[in-house]
Chain A
Amino acid sequence: MLAFLVRRTVGAVLVCAAVTFIVFLIFIVVPGGGPHGTAERIAGKNATTQNIINIEHQWAFDRPFYVQYWRMMKKMFDGSLVSYTSQQNVVSQIVQGMPATFSLTVGAGVIWLFFGIVVGVISALTAGRLSDRVITVLALIGISMPVFWLGLVARYYLAEGGMTTFFPDGEYVAFSRSPTAWFAHLILPWLVLAVLFIGFYGRVLRGNILDTVNEDFVRTAKAKGLTPRRILVKHVLRTSLIPVVTLFGLDFASVLGGGAILTETVFDLHGVGQYAAQSISNFDLPPIMGVTMYGAFFIVFFSVLVDLFYAYLDPRIRPT
């Protein structure tokens, strides 16, 4: 077990290293334009010539690419990555945005996992009947709606400043300031983000359950004379939920790592995702680089966790 852990950790570290190199490729190498052009880009729109020359120097754009890479890494990790449009330190901005992103992700995650499972089970148990068809239709519509559009529509129809005023209009309120306000401001974003996933998870679980029900070991369970409820819970669900749980781990990590960029932008939550979005529209490269790496690290970390959990759930995977 320890060997497995060590192996995965080493692998994760390697992946992270590769990720940093990819970020480097994407932002420094791909756009091209020579050392001056790259420096211009990093400097942002309102840079002076002196700024650009400084940057060229600091980032070593006139030196060979491995020096550039090394410089970039140094800047990332000693916290001196600075956005030139807003003159703010990228790392501190990310840290500032994390509470909002965390609150959004955890809340939505709980909702979508719970309802996804409920919907999937109901749908599978009543397969072919009306409730299943209704759920399938709703689920399909749910996964067909672009999250950001749904958010816009929700804000317009349900939040203050729009047609009705059931909910506060966007913005994030820290839990420490006011728990009720924190909650009220997050409900709409939670639901909007969860809708897509509930639809998807429900369908995945439904498919898994319907497949598992035909498995030989379920037949054996029936032959033992177990009650349908016990068969469902102990045999069918236990097996059908495994892929769902692993999926959840990865999706959760993805959203946490900035994948909720759209929801945050639409609801003005000032989380890490929105920070990334704003930087993009300003073509402000240092923050984008920072957020991209932050996101990647999260996913790698979570996929190690998911692997461990998977080994716990399915004994065949466990290293003997």
Chain B
Amino acid sequence: MAQRARETEFTLDTAAELADEASASEIRGRSPWYLAWRRLRRNYVAFFFLFVFLLVIVACALAPLYASHVAHSGPNANHILETVKVNGHTEQVVSAGGVINGKLVPSLPIAPTWFGGGGRFVLGADGPNGRDEAVRLLYGGRNSLIVGIGSSAICVFFAVVLALLAGYFRGWIDFVITRFFDLFYAFPVVLLGIALGSALAINGFHHFGVSVQPGSLWIPTLVISYVLVPYVGRPLRGQVLSLREKEFVEAAIAQGASPLRIMFSELLPNLASSVLVFFTLIIANNIVLEAALSFLGAGVQPPTSSWGTLISTGRDFIVTRPWLSLAPGIAIVLTVLSLNVFGDGLRDALDPRAKVKVQH
């Protein structure tokens, strides 16, 4: 039983050997982002819906292509007096109406042709102007997405800035910012949006050297982002406040780091996952909000179209030509659902307390 007691002085070889073995069986430290990405990667459902969302964006971005090559029309082009060949027979784009067989028949735009008309009026025409609904759907989608995504970006940006300022400096800065948030919490979001939207739709905004015309897409974008800043800012502020208490922030302050540096390199990265999830979910929320405001007339103003305005104009024909309102609604549901599912998957992946999964 020969036992050789090892030399306890370390030579380079033994140290290297031990180190090799040690790393083979030690717990590997991995960054939380890598772990999150790995979790997200396995979530096929979330990725599928991200793909759907991107598909919607691409489709709407290609609106001009569709308009000129498939539908041979434009978003505001009237076709009242025209006819189109559908599956063989010729039909009026907008029927004349009048008294037929003793009954009063209203003037109706053409029903969806579903590509039977050679790509024209796939979803029918809207009344009473005879515009191609499919074209308007895509162009309207472009505007809805622009307002939705744009307002989210602006909203999240300002919410983050305010949350960082309030949470880091605390004191009276926090007091002022929190009062500001509280104030707007007191208004129902839709009402505030309507109030601002309608007030600005009259004349536009001409103060502080900034001049925005009433018909511009900037108005609904800014209104929506403004209205939602408290809803994103408050939870973020709470996070900043609790992060600030943690030791690594105190350590940074003790090292003499400037406030700006602390906010950027210590606080912001920890907020990043929340911000990412918020951003995704707020886009979904804003698309619906924009539709609601436009439906009521306080959002996107005609002649510019959006999914909300389309639902509104289609409302009069809900019984006879349901697709005029159904199509934009379905588009909204699809887009928003995709964002919600993906956002959900994102939140699950970024949650550090992800639960143990079952094998096989």
Contacts and interface: CB of A to CB of B under 8 A. Distances in A.
Interface of A: 15-16, 18-19, 22-23, 26-27, 30-33, 37, 41, 140-141, 143-149, 152-153, 155-156, 161-162, 211, 214, 254-255, 257-259, 261-262, 265, 276-277, 280-281, 283, 288, 291-292, 295-296, 299-300, 303
6 contacts: A211-B353, A255-B188, A261-B296, A262-B295, A262-B296, A296-B186
A147 B340 CA distance: 16
B65 interface: no
> What 6 pairs across the A-B complex have the smallest Cβ distances?
A259-B188, A149-B329, A144-B337, A144-B336, A254-B188, A31-B203
Given A30-B205, A288-B194, 12 more contacts: A15-B183, A19-B187, A33-B203, A41-B202, A140-B340, A144-B288, A148-B311, A156-B318, A254-B189, A255-B188, A280-B298, A288-B198
Contacts of B333: 141, 144-146, 149
B164 interface: no
A295 B200 contact: no
B203 A32 contact: yes
Contacts of A162: 318-319
B284 interface: yes
B195 interface: yes
Interface of B: 182-183, 185-192, 194-196, 198-203, 205-207, 284, 288, 291-292, 295-298, 311, 315, 318-319, 322, 325-326, 328-329, 332-333, 336-337, 340-341, 344, 353
Nearest to A37: B203
B199 A295 contact: no
A299 B340 contact: no
Contacts of A148: 291-292, 295, 311
Nearest to A280: B198
A288 B189 CA distance: 14
A31 B202 contact: yes
Given A149-B332, A153-B326, A257 B203 contact: no
Of A155, A255, A280, A292, most buried by chain B (CB within 10 Å of CB) is A280
B332 A146 contact: yes
A152 B318 contact: yes
B186 A15 contact: yes
A145 to B, nearest CB: 5
B332 A31 contact: no
Contacts of B202: 31, 33, 41, 283
A295 B319 CA distance: 33
Nearest to A277: B296
Contacts of A281: 296-297
A148 B192 CA distance: 17
A299 B195 contact: no
Contacts of B298: 280
Contacts of A161: 319
A22 B353 CA distance: 42
A151 to B, nearest CB: 10
Nearest to B198: A280
Contact of A140 (B296, B326, B344): B344
Contacts of A257: 188, 191
Nearest to B318: A156
Of B190, B205, B297, B298, most buried by chain A (CB within 10 Å of CB) is B190
A257 B203 CA distance: 27
Contact of B188 (A18, A143, A147, A299): A299
B183 A153 contact: no
A152 B336 CA distance: 18
A153 B330 CA distance: 11
B338 to A, nearest CB: 9
Contacts of A149: 291, 311, 325, 328-329, 332-333
B329 A146 contact: yes
Nearest to B291: A146
Nearest to A255: B188
Contact of A262 (B292, B326, B328): B292
Given A149-B325, A149-B332, A27 B292 contact: no
A259 B191 contact: yes
Nearest to A28: B199
Given A22-B183, A27-B199, A140-B344, A156 B191 contact: no
A258 B188 contact: yes
Contacts of B322: 156
Contacts of A211: 353
Contact of A19 (B186, B207, B325, B326): B186
A280 B332 contact: no
A152 B195 CA distance: 24
B278 to A, nearest CB: 15
Contact of B198 (A143, A283, A303): A283
Contacts of B284: 144
Contacts of B186: 15-16, 19, 296, 299-300, 303
Contacts of B291: 146, 148-149
Nearest to B341: A140
